[in-house]
A and B are shown apart, each in its own frame.
Chain A
Amino acid sequence: MEKFEILWNSTSLPHFQSGQVIMMVVGLVLLYLAIVKKFEPLLLVPIGFGALLTNIPLAGFSEAGGLLYYIYHIGIDTGVFPLLIFMGVGAMTDFGALIANPRMLLLGAAAQFGIFATLFGAIALNWVPGFEFTLKDASAIAIIGGADGPTAIFLASRLAPELLGAIAVAAYSYMALVPIIQPPIMKALTSPEERKIEMAQLRHVSSREKIVFPLAVLLMTILFLPAATPLVGMFCFGNLMKECGVVDRLSKTAQNELINTVTIFLGLAVGSKLSADKFLTVETLGILGLGAVAFGIGTAAGVLMAKLMGKFSKEPINPLLGAAGVSAVPMAARVVNKVGLEANPHNFLLMHAMGPNVAGVLGSAVAAGILLALVG
């Protein structure tokens, strides 16, 4: 009989807690969204699976000595993984459209209003009993509005590691939901005539301009916002490797093998933070709600800024472009293109939208640097 008891205790059945079961279901939902609905599968598959692994009783994946524990500490606690991803993103980014029309940087700046408005909103949630967000928590939550996964994870790992799981899941879920969240806001704020506006053809950008650009961005960050240099520095490094044309092998590795490898571990490590005690809280609900608001406000601010710029500009500016100011590259630009085509089947905005889109990446990195410098 004693032997039976030992055997029974060595199975996970008597050790399952309800929280673990619920979190495993959350993991399965993430896997479902990734595999069936194709929502950011590259991230949600490892995150969902990480959530399954970390909630296995007795296996101790996320306790000292466990695999996910080490992956988390090596990659996310130190901030290394999100920075490596940022390098890969830099190596994939073409700044040509932005250099050809640098005014689009203002749209990338305006869309960051989503971040700061959400910061305000997260603190205001403290009126509701059950919420106790500090300024650091609120900043980490607000960065979801930057619509940039690695930036959100980097900032959360610095400012509010205990909220990281919820923040990362919210950030990536909403990035997948960009095609659903953005169009109604874009249509509500623009008239059909405005959506039909066609943009002038972009000029050709020489490769020398593209090489100098990342160096100039880095120089400005060094001078004015050193707190953002980890993010901007890695991003510019990746971009320089791509544009300089003499290290194609490194650039290819950064944008393929390396970013893929890091994505696997980053996803697993984020998934390991989806444990019941951290995730099944009222704060997670607040984070998910605030994330959606952040996206919405960012989109609206971008569109309104584009309308404002259109009033003062000699060349017409299609206000839809503002929506691409939230980063979410290249999803937001594609959404702009799609909504533009609905209004005017001959209006291809994709290339024009890539300008504010990459400006949004820079903008959210700058915003993250500001939050790190002022709150961190």
Chain B
Amino acid sequence: MNTQTVSSLLMEAGSLMLIGMLFVFTFLGLLIVGVRLITICCNAFPSAEVESTIPAPRASASPNVDNKVVAAITAAIHTHRQNNKNN
């Protein structure tokens, strides 16, 4: 490729670089403003959306409770209910 064409292409590439970077920064810069606006709007009009109110699953039976104790209590409840039903 002759020198002149390369030089003119280089000029063009240089201007593309300037314009391109300028535009990318402007675009994403505007997007920053956009995101901030979205945040402000969302904070100004809080939705009825219930944010993470689902309680963390309760730890089932703490590990140091003996299985026998659990079995005994279960049996006790069972008999209690049976008795209540009979009454």
Given the known interface contacts A109-B24, A109-B25, the answer about A374 and B19 at a Cβ–Cβ threshold of 8 Å is yes
Cα distance A131–B38 when bound, in Å? 48
Contacts of B19 in A (CB 8 A): 370, 374
B10, B19, B29, B31 — most chain A CB neighbours (10 Å): B31
Contacts of B5 in A (CB 8 A): 126
B21 touching A102, Cβ below 8 Å:
no
Please tell me which one of the listed residues A108, A135, A213, A359 contacts residue B38 in the complex, with CB atoms under 8 A apart.
A213
- Interface flags for A353-376 (1: CB within 8 Å of B; 0: not) read 000000100110011001100110
Please tell me which one of the listed residues B10, B13, B21, B49 contacts residue A112 in the complex, with CB atoms under 8 A apart.
B21
B24 smallest CB distance to A (angstroms): 5
- Interface flags for B65-76 (1: CB within 8 Å of A; 0: not) read 000000000000
State the majority secondary structure of interface residues on A.
helix
- Can you list 27 A-B contacts (CB < 8 A)? A98-B35, A99-B39, A102-B35, A106-B29, A108-B28, A109-B21, A109-B24, A109-B25, A119-B16, A123-B9, A131-B1, A132-B1, A134-B9, A135-B9, A138-B13, A208-B47, A209-B38, A212-B38, A213-B35, A216-B35, A217-B34, A220-B30, A359-B28, A362-B31, A363-B24, A370-B19, A374-B19
Given the known interface contacts A99-B35, A112-B21, A206-B42, the answer about A135 and B13 at a Cβ–Cβ threshold of 8 Å is yes
Size category of the A interface is 35 or more
Number of A-B contacts (CB under 8 A): 120
- Interface flags for A65-96 (1: CB within 8 Å of B; 0: not) read 00000000000000000000000000000000
B3 smallest CB distance to A (angstroms): 8
- Interface flags for A97-121 (1: CB within 8 Å of B; 0: not) read 0110011011011101101110110
Cα distance A220–B23 when bound, in Å? 13
- Tell whether A253 is near chain B: CB-to-CB under 8 Å: no
Cα distance A295–B71 when bound, in Å? 64
